[in-house]
A and B are shown apart, each in its own frame.
Chain A
């Protein structure tokens, strides 16, 4: 059982907030990863900065892992990264479970216009009514999903 980790959580959270602040005050853009990712496709008009952001996102995670090894998953001294295995009752295999999760997340964040970063961080900070509704729903449904599937 992994322990509750308040200090890395607070520092990491502040970094995520700073990332969102930089993009907002610099470029006037919402740091919502599903939006940045989803708008790479036509009829998107601004592809270059989105690719730059996403490549830097991967690079930032990798750099932090090498600077602070052993802090968590992925670093050279840490545990290897792994996706969750499906609950025991599901007999369709891990790939099918993961594909279903990805499809629902991609589709849902597109029509709902945001995910944990765009609605959860930026939208709440902007006091957007839509974001408060979206965040309330997706947290509640995710908690219910974990409870009903028994995946943990």
Chain B
């Protein structure tokens, strides 16, 4: 725990965040309208569908898959005592309900949390109220989780 404020740890977080933000801009996934054009499967028959999002998430998964394999051969990450693997493995109601609600929210706007934060760089109108709502929703969600779970998540994450 004490290591999480060391300089290499914070530099790693900064490099990761910057690469992530650059990736979201380069892939154009910061554009909610482009994301919506992927989610609009009704455009497939007319040839207006934009499959770009699949071409973003594909290589991202491949690169991370390799990193996970490399990590599996090591006892610990470079700057912490252990890998913080999520503790839950069960498919439960909060997971399913949460995914459904997120799916509705995502489909309504084309915005998911990564692009939402990245969009601060370009500050489109109405972004502020979206971010406030995101924050309030997230905070409210912490109260409905079974007791003890939020705290364990905080430690695990």
Contacts and interface: CB of A to CB of B under 8 A. Distances in A.
A99 B111 CA distance: 12
Given A33-B117, A81-B123, A109-B138, A6 B52 contact: yes
Chain A's interface: helix, strand, loop or mixed, by majority?
helix
A110 B18 contact: no
Given A13-B56, A81-B123, A108-B99, A113 B88 contact: yes
B138 to A, nearest CB: 4
B115 to A, nearest CB: 9
B34 A17 contact: no
Interface string A97-114: 111111111111111110
Given A27-B12, A81-B30, A98 B126 contact: yes
Contact of B22 (A22, A61, A117): A61
B143 to A, nearest CB: 9
A129 B60 CA distance: 18
B32 A84 contact: yes
Contacts of A112: 94-99, 101-102
B99 A104 contact: no
Interface string B100-142: 1111111111111110111111111111011111111111111
Interface string A75-104: 100001111100000000011011111111
A57 B22 CA distance: 8
Given A2-B34, A81-B30, A84-B109, A57 B18 contact: yes
Give 3 nearest A-B pairs by CB, closest first: A112-B98, A12-B27, A106-B137
